[in-house]
Amino acid sequence: MLFSSVGFLFRFLPIFIIIYLMFPKYRNIVLLTGSLIFYGVGEPFFVLLLLLSVLVNYGFTRYMFWEPRYPQSNRKKKAARRRKRAIILVIALDLSVLFVFKYWDFAAGSINAAAGKGFLPLLSLALPLGISFYTFQMISYQIDCYRGTIETRAGLLSFATYICMFPQLIAGPIVRYGEVAERMEGRRVRIRDLENGLKLFTLGLGLKVLLANQIGTLWNLIMTAGAGRLHPLVAWLGAFAYSFQIYFDFWGYSVMAMGLGKMLGFSIPRNFDHPYTSRSLSEFWRRWHMTLGSWFKEYVYIPLGGSRKGNGRTICNLLVVWALTGLWHGAAWNFVLWGIVFFLLISLEKRTFGKWMEKSLVLGHVYTVLLIPVTWVIFAITDMGQLAGYLGNLVGYHREGILVGTTQLVRYLKEYGALIIACVIFATPLPVNLYWKWKDRWFVVLILLGIFWWSVREIVLGSNNPFLYFRF
Amino acid sequence: MNRNKIRTFLEIIYNCPFVLLVIFTSVVFLIFFDGTEGREDGKNVAALRMIEEKSPAKENDITDKEEQKEDSSIVEEVQKPKEQGEKDVKNAGTRKENTIGIKKDLKCKTDNKSAEISGKQEKEKKHATEFVEYTPIETDSRYYSDAGKIALTTVYDYVLENESYFNDAAFLGDSRTLGISDYAGLEGADFFCDNGMTIYKLLEDDGVTYQKTGEKVDMKEILQEKHYGKIYIMLGMNELGYGDTPMYLRQYLKVIRQIKEWQPGVIIYVMANLHVSQEKNNMETEFNNININDKNVASARLANGSDVFYLDCNPLFTDEEGYLLAELTFDGVHLYAQHYDKWRDFLFAHGVEREEIQQTEGSGQTETSGVPGDS
């Protein structure tokens, strides 16, 4: 089930909220059951995988802190060893499940291609929804437990609820247990929380449905014509369109999660902080998908030694983090390339011009605004040949003549001009600041109501509607 | 106590106007429109009814009884496969995956065969649109049934043409035709097309964009004012989930008859809708090649080999199972820009010369003969 669907908005959510409010004593049970239904509707088989993962992970945490009843010699030493064993095993297990479902075909295919024959079978498994997110969340919990940074470890119900809770199950943010631990054990939902949560949710819904989905059709239109024979300006337009699409899609989803969290009495951390207004790529990554960035920093970069073990080691650590960040986003070479590009640019920034860029008012913005769309193109196009063609088009290189030229450009601009302006405005902090300033005014309430119903209209008329295609 | 209750109630209203407004408007919508899906359904049914009501009336307008008979037989025939399909229900399930493959195998063979036949019995076979039959599968949809056959390009002595052939041509269609307009390089032709165009919307007031000016135009006026030598129509994708195939055919027939009335002596090309890729092919919805083929077969029935011709471009772009080749498309529906060359060459290869029509049609067409149109 997606947040932006009629089934969620008008069936699941109202029924769930009513039951949730009716039984304040059993909130975790209600939330867990609701989340499993939410997940199970779309993934009737993988919900079992999710449950199994939760149980196994919980078992490992118990094992990690298991205290034998009878006295033992060198008890502390044994306990430390057991903890280490448990944490290594559980992380390996979690990652191997992720690997089998997400990366096996990619790895096997690459090895087969390198070897020139097919000795590794391809599994062609479907990817369980949200597996990258919940696996990382479980690993963060295990490591936090191992390190002892969690004061009271979760019981089975709390743990299962924490992993499965539907606001952040399928697309993050990656919430750390410490951030919600207090609320897991008992939470109050005030009437203001419902109001503010629903407002936030509506805002996110609008970002996803009215901005991301709409601008996405422009990118689709340009890609439909085909990469490789685009006029440079068309290619840039496409790159910007995709940058907006991915940002508003993801940001919208995160804001919806925050809103839902609020309605349920949680405070889910912010995931985006106007990344497109950054002045360097390092800053961009401090503001883009913040929970993933801090996950990699906390659990990979710093344990590897961070930047404290000399320059060579720092570069090496950065490379590992960025290659993994790339791979986390998808199992294909273009994602690895995408990660590596960030690695190169960010290490370059750190060594040379980064500080300077972040100080300058204009240059830093120009630099990020031009470079980030290029990185998104690498992210978007999985086929290496096409990717090379598109990147060539961006700088005006064409192997064959231009097919999509100024005529189409004018048509695209006419059709999408207003939307592009709206996207640019929403990429700045202005609308959000105004929202926080005026959020309780009556006209904001009316605007939000308009956004809500306009989004619903788009959802019903769009792909969710089997009756009206009218898209070709 | 009572006062307290009122106070909490007022507090709620004061504190969460947005939640209450959303709930209130939702309830209003639920009551008046009978649920969101029901609402859409209702709209759709109303639209269908409107079209249904319109079409028989239009058919009565036409005085030519023979044509009318022909029409009703065409429509009836389209409805037949549905019944056949229902009879085949018992062993259809297992065949589902294989049939499409069989279909295209058949197609390849018969393509060769028909070429041979046309060589031998040129004159008799000249005007025929051939159908290759296969066993239809069971479909459970109110939008389509498996046609049980594939229509081939109308057999005819086509002439290889060049770009000047299209100087008096008009193309009417949806986004695929927009692709031809953009990328096939047929500068001389007039393109009237839009994303989402349907056979139902085609003749509406200000319904279509004229690609040379980018403005919405009234197709009825254009067709009455400007004379075209040939008109290419390709519509059917946006009709996949809108009305059933007989309804589509009725409307198509109406459009063609209207065009013939306004454009005496015109050559009409009914172009097959391009299939979609395997990835995009979805048997759960109406969006699949069986449905597209159903629409194509229906429209192919309109071809008579004298002034209406059916062109099937699918063999150019599909694999042996009838799926659009994945490497030719980004979204599984539209060709990449560079592949429209092939389509253009296909159109070049299917020119119909006017003199031949005169011979086969006989009298009645002389006043328009040789007129290349005033474009």
Cβ of B242 within 8 Å of Cβ of A469? The answer is: yes
Cβ of B337 within 8 Å of Cβ of A414? The answer is: no
Tally the C-alpha atoms within 13 A of residue A55's C-alpha that lie toward its C-beta. Answer: 6
Residues 57-116 of B with CB under 8 A from A: none
Question: Backbone phi, then psi, for A307, in 5-degree steps?
Answer: -110, 20
Domain ranges of chain A: 6-187, 193-279+360-461
Contacting residues of A for B211, CB less than 8 Å apart: none
Total length of chain B? 375
What does the pLDDT look like over B226-278, one tens digit per residue? Answer: 889 899 999 988 888 888 888 899 999 999 998 988 988 888 999 999 999 88
Please tell me which residue of chain B has the smallest CA distance to A410: B214
Cα gap A92→B348, rounded to integer Å: 62
Contacting residues of A for B280, CB less than 8 Å apart: none
Please tell me which residue of chain A has the smallest CA distance to B328: A226
Residue B336 has pLDDT above 60, yes or no: yes
Complex prediction ipTM: 0.71
What does the pLDDT look like over B27-56, one tens digit per residue? Answer: 888 777 654 443 344 344 444 444 444 444
Residue listed under structure tokens 């307009």: B181
The pLDDT score that the predictor gives to residue B127 is 66
Q: Tally C-beta pairs within 8 A across A and B.
A: 111
Contacting residues of A for B333, CB less than 8 Å apart: 472
Give the distance from residue B196's alpha carbon to the nearest chain A alpha carbon, in angstroms.
Answer: 4
Cβ of B242 within 8 Å of Cβ of A468? The answer is: yes
Contact of B18 with chain A, judged by CB distance below 8 Å, is answered with yes
List CB contacts of A353: < 8 A, sequence separation 6 or more: none
Cα gap B351→A29, rounded to integer Å: 71
Cβ of B195 within 8 Å of Cβ of A10? The answer is: no
- Measured N-to-C along each axis, helices A191-206 and A442-461 cross at an angle, to the nearest 10 degrees, of 50
Residue B346 has pLDDT above 60, yes or no: yes
What does the pLDDT look like over A374-396, one tens digit per residue? Answer: 999 999 888 888 889 899 988 88
Cβ of A465 within 8 Å of Cβ of B16? The answer is: no
Cβ of A449 within 8 Å of Cβ of B330? The answer is: no
Contact of B196 with chain A, judged by CB distance below 8 Å, is answered with yes
Contacting residues of B for A403, CB less than 8 Å apart: 182-183, 337-338
Contacting residues of B for A224, CB less than 8 Å apart: 329-331, 334, 336
A274 is known as an active-site residue = no
Mean pLDDT across chain B:
73
The pLDDT score that the predictor gives to residue A77 is 80
Cβ of B242 within 8 Å of Cβ of A407? The answer is: no
**Tokens at A91, concatenated:** 């992380």
Q: How confident is the model at residue B366 (pLDDT cuts 50, 70, 90)?
A: very low
3-state class of A463 per DSSP? coil
Contact of B287 with chain A, judged by CB distance below 8 Å, is answered with yes
Contacting residues of A for B334, CB less than 8 Å apart: 224, 472
Contact of B12 with chain A, judged by CB distance below 8 Å, is answered with yes
pLDDT less than 70: residues of chain A: 71-72, 354, 462-472
Cβ of B238 within 8 Å of Cβ of A470? The answer is: yes
Cβ of B238 within 8 Å of Cβ of A469? The answer is: yes
Q: How confident is the model at residue B71 (pLDDT cuts 50, 70, 90)?
A: low
Cα gap B327→B335, rounded to integer Å: 9
Give the distance from residue A69's alpha carbon to the nearest chain B alpha carbon, in angstroms.
Answer: 54
Q: Which residue did the predictor score with more confidence, B341 or B67?
A: B341
Contact of B32 with chain A, judged by CB distance below 8 Å, is answered with no
**Which one is catalytic: A274, A329, A365, A398?**
A329
Give the distance from residue A186's alpha carbon to the nearest chain B alpha carbon, in angstroms.
Answer: 23
Give the distance from residue A449's alpha carbon to the nearest chain B alpha carbon, in angstroms.
Answer: 7
Is residue A405 within 8 Å of A360, Cβ to Cβ? no
Cα gap A16→A194, rounded to integer Å: 13
Give the distance from residue B238's alpha carbon to the nearest chain A alpha carbon, in angstroms.
Answer: 5
- Measured N-to-C along each axis, helices A232-264 and A191-206 cross at an angle, to the nearest 10 degrees, of 170
Q: What is the CA radius of gyration of chain B?
A: 24
Residue B9 has pLDDT above 70, yes or no: yes
The pLDDT score that the predictor gives to residue B126 is 56
Read off the pLDDT of each residue in B51-79 and give the average, rounded to a whole number: 46
Please tell me which residue of chain B has the smallest CA distance to A466: B241
Give the distance from residue B120's alpha carbon to the nearest chain A alpha carbon, in angstroms.
Answer: 41
Cβ of B330 within 8 Å of Cβ of A400? The answer is: no
Please tell me which residue of chain A has the smallest CA distance to B200: A470
Domain ranges of chain B: 2-33, 36-63, 66-368
Cβ of A191 within 8 Å of Cβ of B337? The answer is: no
**Tokens at A453, concatenated:** 């119903």
- Output the pTM of the full model: 0.79
Residue B84 has pLDDT above 50, yes or no: no
Cα gap B85→A217, rounded to integer Å: 38
Is residue B145 within 8 Å of B136, Cβ to Cβ? yes
How much of chain B exceeds pLDDT 90, in percent? 9
**Tokens at B370, concatenated:** 């040789």
What's domain B66-368's architecture? 3-Layer(aba) Sandwich (3.40)
Residue B338 has pLDDT above 80, yes or no: yes
Report the candidate in B347, B369, B362, B343 with the shortest Cα–Cα distance to residue B158: B347
What does the pLDDT look like over B257-267, one tens digit per residue? Answer: 989 889 888 88
Q: b/e per residue, B6-42, with b = 16+ CB within 10 A? A: eeeeeeeeebbbbbebbeeebeebeeeeeebbeebee
Verify cis geometry, omega within 30 degrees of 0, for the bond prior to A173.
yes
The pLDDT score that the predictor gives to residue B98 is 43
Distances (CA, A) of A45 to A12, A41, B283: 20, 10, 21
Look at phi and psi of residue B83 and say left if phi exceeds 0, alpha if psi is from -120 to 50, else beta. alpha
Residue B91 has pLDDT above 80, yes or no: no
The pLDDT score that the predictor gives to residue B355 is 60
Residue B205 has pLDDT above 50, yes or no: yes
